[in-house]
Chains A and B, each alone.
Chain A
Amino acid sequence: MHKIWLIVQREYLTRVRKKSFIIMTFLTPLLLAAFMVIPAWLATVSDSADVVMVLDESGKFANKLENKKDLQFMTLHGDLENAKEVYRQTDNTALLYIPPLDIENPEGIKVYSKKNTSLQTKIRLENMLEKEIENQRFVASGIDRALLDKMKAEVSVTTVKLSGKEEEDNNAFVTSGAGIIGAVIIYFFIFLYGVQIMRGVIEEKTNRIVEVMISSVKPFQLMMGKIIGIAGVGLTQFLLWVILSSIVVTGVQAAFGIDAAPTPIEQIEAGRAEATGEEVVQEQNDTAMLADVSNAIANLNFPLLIGCFLFYFLGGYLLYGSLFGAIGAAVDNETDTQQFMFPITIPLIISFIMSYTVVLKNPDGPVAFWMSVIPFTSPIVMMVRVPFGVPASELLLSMALLVAGFIFTTWIASRIYRVGILMYGKKINYKELSKWLFYRV
């Protein structure tokens, strides 16, 4: 045990002290901050000047198009050719042309612009025009607009899970989000650090230090020391990312006074809401949804989620890590790893894709069940299922199988490893590998 600990220390320290590790650790939170700040900043820059010139030949929209903070209108007169010419000489965003118009059948409205008009601008203009036409139709048919607004209904459905003792508020968005985040982290962790194990083993082989090492320690100790040490590196990096990101994010929020970059969809929605004069309603909706989300987050079973995350995180990493180590031992250099990497990455990628497509839609279906029980796919798939609620028996079965799978792959890996690390200059195929399993060394 003492020797494994020494190896763990070396593997950990040499990696943590590398420049690439330090750069990655500090750069990632900064990039995250940049992702937040730059779009927000760009939005403030471009928001200043959207001016749309309007040529209204129908005369129905005079003074009806209200100027907004970031969208202003400038009325033109004369004929279309003339207006186009005037527009061309300005820096304005677009030229809105409204021909003589039948209110029952509004056709022929055009937007001319030098550049492509943004979707957002187009939708806002459409909404504003629609609203005005609606208004004029109401007037024409004698309906009171205020009365109509009063009659409108807003319904938001709350989903409730009827399982166990209490009824819980439950939000499908939050539930799947929690699972997917965990699954994504596990997926990348296995890949990033599994490959590091493989590289480490290849490095020892090409450096020829391996013979010195295994005249002091057992191959198994060397392999496990490396796997555990690299797990430590990964956890350190992950932890530092969480801490640094939260510091950076709080810092950025304080400095710029923004919550987060609004997504284009939110902006479009905002534009629509603005245009239809339903800001108030929309805002109420937003707060309701926010309350709903935070409610659902509060209702997630955090101890279970975090416990499962750690278990599947480590279990998945150990299961795949030892296989990556075995690949490293079987080859002489990294270019030869492809043929062996393939069967390892396939179950990982499949479980990732299936999580998005099948498991999220039907978290209790047969596909979800089997994939969350088979050790090679369970770390990712079970993580997606857990927030939806998984029977304890299934969870225990999955965990037990993962432990068994881990012991099994480690056994296979250590068998391949002890033969492979002393084997040079031989092209290895699967038949050869399977022979190694039963070599007497």
Chain B
Amino acid sequence: MSILKIDGVSKRYANHTALDHVSFDIPQGCIFGLLGPNGAGKTSLIRIITQITGADTGEIYFKGERLRPDHIKDMGYLPEERGLYKKMKVGEQLLYLAQLKGLTKDEARQRIKAWVNRFEIRDWLDKNIEDLSKGMQQKVQFIATVLHEPSLIILDEPFSGFDPINANLIKDEILRLRDNGATIIFSTHRMESVEELCDNIALINRSRKVLDGPVREIKNAYKTDTYQIIGNGKLMVLSPDFEVLEQHENHGVFRAAIRLLNNTSPNDLLRYLLDKVEIHSFVELVPSINDIFIRKVKEPQHA
């Protein structure tokens, strides 16, 4: 079941098209990567989902219903440009933002308490935002985003500005939220950073959707039956079933990339090599999302 269905959404600004008939589904309970280079239209799409702006044409369905203003209570949005009221205390700020999302004061207080305990930031509650470091502010903002326990959490470039330790902390929180049933949309131009996290992705380039689906399926579809082999000995491949794409040798240790041809299996390749060299490592070369994206963008445009 999809929590969000984007159906033919277009958005045009005065002198450029931000989104051009973009359609895809976001399954419930997954971590969804909205990927694409800067200026591809990711933020425009997010702003339409969060109802900051409206689409020119097309529809968006949230949990099967056409997007309504009260749906925003069930969404949490962390914009790329972070910001909080500088002169407000952390506790008050969280309380305020939570109340705007429809929580009662008591509910909000309880949840704030739980979150500050989890992040060990209880001492910050009475500090002004401007007195916190940038990383601390980001943590506060992350809490503000998820405090009302939305079923859809949208994070625009979530790891920018975090040091590795805090980035991992946030990663763990994101996985925990997913396990508790939330759906998370990641938007980023740094594709490698979310590859390991995302269950599904959509690639956007120049206001058009290029590709979408489960990460595993996409990778399978784009695999080239290429294997990397490392071992000892003199590697000589003279079979028409295998193509050597790359080969290096160093002090008797070789490293080679070999592609299977004519529907041969990896076992055939192994069997072929076993007699000739000593094999230390045999790994399938799976294309990264980044590679797939670049390949996809370089392909001639069909439409």
Contacts and interface: CB of A to CB of B under 8 A. Distances in A.
A207 B85 contact: yes
Given A6-B100, A212-B77, A214-B52, A14 B83 contact: no
Interface string A1-33: 001001100100010001000000000000000
A7 B99 CA distance: 10
A23 to B, nearest CB: 16
A422 B54 CA distance: 14
Contact of B96 (A6, A208, A211, A441): A6
B54 A209 contact: no
Given A6-B96, A216-B97, A211 B81 contact: yes
Contacts of B101: 216
B72 A207 contact: no
Contact of A215 (B14, B72, B86): B72
B56 A211 contact: no
A38 interface: no
Interface residues of B, number: 28
- What does DSSP make chain A's interface, helix, strand, loop or mixed? helix
Contact of B100 (A14, A217, A441): A217
Given A6-B100, A14-B87, A208 B82 contact: yes
A299 B99 CA distance: 51
Nearest to A209: B83
A3 B99 CA distance: 8
A440 B50 contact: no
A123 interface: no
Interface string A86-112: 000000000000000000000000000
Interface in B139-156: 141, 144
A294 to B, nearest CB: 48
Contacts of A204: 85
Interface string B94-108: 001101110000000
Contacts of B14: 435
Interface string B69-94: 10010010101011111111000000
B97 A440 contact: no
A422 to B, nearest CB: 7
B97 A14 contact: no
B168 interface: no
Interface in A290-304: none
A210 interface: yes
Nearest to A217: B100
Nearest to B141: A212
Nearest to A13: B92
Contacts of B77: 211-212, 215
B53 interface: yes
A213 B81 CA distance: 12
A18 B86 CA distance: 13
B145 to A, nearest CB: 8
A3 B96 CA distance: 10
Contacts of A6: 96, 99-100
Contact of A207 (B47, B54, B84, B99): B84
Interface in A186-213: 203-204, 207-213
B72 A216 contact: yes
A3 B88 CA distance: 18
A207 B97 contact: no
A440 B75 contact: no
A207 B86 CA distance: 7
Nearest to B130: A207
Interface string A404-435: 00000000000000000010000000000001
B144 A212 contact: yes
B83 A207 contact: yes
A435 B14 CA distance: 10
Nearest to A7: B100
Interface of A: 3, 6-7, 10, 14, 18, 203-204, 207-218, 422, 435, 440-441
Given A207-B86, A209-B84, 4 more contacts: A207-B83, A207-B85, A211-B81, A215-B50
26 contacts: A6-B100, A10-B88, A10-B96, A14-B87, A14-B88, A207-B84, A207-B86, A208-B81, A208-B83, A209-B85, A210-B83, A211-B52, A211-B77, A211-B81, A211-B83, A212-B79, A212-B97, A212-B141, A212-B144, A213-B100, A214-B52, A215-B51, A215-B72, A216-B101, A422-B53, A441-B53
